[in-house]
Amino acid sequence: MMICPKIISKKRPLFTEPIFVVRPNLPSAEELSPLIAEMLKKRQVTNFGDFHNELEERIRRLCNVKYAVLCCNGTVGLFLLLRALGLKGKVVTTAFTFPATVHSVFMAGLEPVFCDIDPDGYTLDVDSVERSITKDTSCILGVNVFGNVCDVERLQALGKKHNIPVIYDSAHAFLCKYKNKYVGGFGYAEMFSFHATKLFTTIEGGVVTTNNRRLYVKLKQLINFGIKDEESVTGIGLNGKMSEINAIFGLLSFEQKDNILMKLARLSECYKKHLSAVPGIKLQKVREGCKINNQYMTIEVIPEEFGLTRDELYEALKEDNIITRKYFYPPAHKYECYRGFEFADKARLANTDTLSQRILCLPIYATLKIEDVKKICDLIVSIRDNSKKIRSRLKSRSSCRKNCV
């Protein structure tokens, strides 16, 4: 096999080790081991043990809601929430999201109806939601994208007008605040993810918060196989419980959260300071009154002004060992698995299409150094300044890969 000389002559990357888009926040072995020892001594490792119950209660209090239901992950939480609501028909939602949102709707036997998003804040465009509501609509499912809270007031009014529940996929939004209150009590219910990529983590896990007692009772059964009591199974549920080990990680996350939030805010400020004035880069507009958790650092790359597309910037950063993520690409109406379904094929979502081609998530996590953020920003600026040269290098490298290796 002949190796192309252009590949051999690749320049030395800015970072010798990869800088990933996210790294998990984990406790030390010293913090973990006494709690694990306590769990082993009690010999209760799952099925609503003490650690589970303590975590659930602490989250309930933090979010200032009447009920919280921990679950094995956010996807199962959202799926069972939709089932617990006993919905039929269509759910108005966004295609600018992670696959879990739309798959949960579909697997709950409901049909997603995609409406467009606000081009600046990326959450549901409420006018588009209103236009999408028909007599078959049974629910509005908003996504608090990158922690930015939806227009909860207008969505609530819309839900009331049409007598349908509004719920939120708040997978990104744990510890975000809106009007000085932690997110969690908006709409009928909210789901949060505690996946290892999230700043507050149980490794795998999530929670559903609600103020509705009937919904809570139903959901609590559905995450436990639909079992009502020892002699009756009243719901078609599954095993969605959170184990004690996962709950222990969550309790330790509670101890770390303020420190992590502070570190992420500093990193995010640094990114914003260095990137906000760069032509061709636009930052997410966070809703007034919303304080985000800075778990994501996203930029919108406007190709005509930046000189390169988002995908080219992604490749250029990768050459220097900076691993970014194209979020959300593809958008849900373009997934292969939904090809042939009218709700996907007929969706016309101008803002969603544009943003899914333009948004890039940059590295952000508590152990990332501020000096490295500065280096990443300087590199982005220099990539823009040399965009023509970089475009032609990327082109020749890609044709080289196809033809030579």
Residue ranges binding ligand PLP (CB under 6 A): 73-75, 97-98, 100-101, 143, 169, 171-172, 193, 195, 206
Dig out the tokens for 401 from the structure: 């890969």
Q: 213-222 and 74-84 helices cross at what angle (nearest 10)?
A: 120
Task: Give least dist CB 97 to ligand PLP, A.
Answer: 5
Cβ proximity to ligand PLP: between 101 and 138 the closer is 101
Task: Give least dist CB 73 to ligand PLP, A.
Answer: 4
Task: Give least dist CB 327 to ligand PLP, A.
Answer: 9
Q: What is the DSSP letter of 115?
A: E
Cβ proximity to ligand PLP: between 257 and 266 the closer is 257
Cβ proximity to ligand PLP: between 100 and 164 the closer is 100
Cβ proximity to ligand PLP: between 172 and 263 the closer is 172
Burial 138-149 (b: 16+ CB within 10 A, else e): bbbbbbbbbbbb
Q: Are 6 and 396 in contact (CB under 8 A)?
A: yes
Q: What are phi and psi of 162, to 5 degrees?
A: -100, 5
d(CA 68, CA 46): 17
Q: Are 148 and 121 in contact (CB under 8 A)?
A: yes
Cβ proximity to ligand PLP: between 308 and 361 the closer is 361
Task: Give least dist CB 373 to ligand PLP, A.
Answer: 23
Task: Give least dist CB 198 to ligand PLP, A.
Answer: 7
Q: Are 391 and 343 in contact (CB under 8 A)?
A: no
Alpha-helical (H) ranges within 276-386 are 303-306, 310-319, 342-345, 350-358, 370-385
Mapping DSSP onto H, E and C, the string for 147-196 reads HCCCCHHHHHHHHHHHCCCEEEECCCCCCCEECCEECCCCCCEEEEECEC
Q: Is the dihedral of CA 116, 119, 125, 131 positive or negative?
A: negative
Work out the number of other CB atoms within 10 angstroms of the CB of residue 258: 10
Instruction: Using alpha carbons, list the distances in angstroms from residue 345 to 134, 307, 334, 348.
Output: 19, 31, 8, 9
d(CA 59, CA 306): 43
d(CA 287, CA 217): 33
Task: Give least dist CB 156 to ligand PLP, A.
Answer: 20
Task: Give least dist CB 377 to ligand PLP, A.
Answer: 25
The answer to whether the bond into 328 is cis (omega within 30° of 0) is: yes
* In the complex, residue closest to ligand PLP by CB: 74
Q: What is the DSSP letter of 302?
A: -
d(CA 145, CA 161): 25
Task: Give least dist CB 72 to ligand PLP, A.
Answer: 9
Cβ proximity to ligand PLP: between 121 and 307 the closer is 121
What residues contact 143, with CB distance under 8 A and at least 6 apart? 93, 94, 96, 97, 101, 123, 124, 150, 168, 169, 171, 172
Q: Are 189 and 81 in contact (CB under 8 A)?
A: yes
Cβ proximity to ligand PLP: between 100 and 364 the closer is 100
Cβ proximity to ligand PLP: between 144 and 256 the closer is 144
Cβ proximity to ligand PLP: between 98 and 338 the closer is 98
Task: Quote the distance between the C-alpha of residue 3 and its chain's center.
Answer: 40
Cβ proximity to ligand PLP: between 96 and 306 the closer is 96
Task: Give least dist CB 172 to ligand PLP, A.
Answer: 6
Task: Give least dist CB 205 to ligand PLP, A.
Answer: 7
Task: Give least dist CB 24 to ligand PLP, A.
Answer: 13
Cβ proximity to ligand PLP: between 82 and 270 the closer is 82
